[in-house]
Structure 1
């Protein structure tokens, strides 16, 4: 039993030492001596709200939230929206992505998960641009809107807590 406990403790220490993501070698070496490149590590989503129409209501769903990454240079604070005029900015054949007001940030909303994608080191001249991605699963508290609401009958949900912090878990070349 003692060997099992010691093995478990050793495995836990090893797991803590493993980085969350491995920086690709070409990117790592290309930004090693770059003065203004700070790789994204974490982000904050504030005031996440989603509204979905009830059956029979032809209004489009809407999503609104604030995004911040104040540790990169230049820091990013932007608003993000999805509505009937939103355009998929992602590559063909992949999950739709939508740009925030600051085009360095894009998002995907799929089955209760909000994925955030941020361009890495946008001020640097990179042969291959990179993007960091991370996700949050907001705990949504919802209420029903009636047909007398300006959008009609539907479900209005907001994240509780209203501030969601997360880490980027992926660093990949930007898809074309």
Structure 2
């Protein structure tokens, strides 16, 4: 049996029970992938006991929670995404964006309108064909769709109570109708 005394968060071993308390060692737990078992000592009064805590290999539990939230953020609706813009990365030049990727730029949440590689000289504010500011669904204003009218890429219209954005120039297809998926993007439900 080992005997010791606590010195801060460490154990100093001593020669006998008369000089200290029993030091109780415990088995190290198995840690899953990406985690480590961190050892500490606890003064339990009658003994000094070895304790273990399983923690992320890098960072804190809060860092792990934030990473998980960022992974799940891509599944949020635009309205929910606007409630937690800090979960989204900042816009980067020379970054490959997929259609629908969201990011922040100059304090606003943006969405990529199509897949592309961002260019340093083409900021989100200067490239409306590549990026759109994410707006709450209640704030999207658009005129009613008019049959026979030709709409340009980026034009927004209301049809069937929803707001749609034209994905092409010269668009005469009815939004929400069968076969119009490639011509219109539904912005609100």
Q: TM-score, normalised by structure 2?
A: 0.22
- State the TM-score, normalized to the length of structure 1: 0.23
Q: Which has the higher contact order (CA 8 A, sep 6+)?
A: 1
Higher strand share: 1
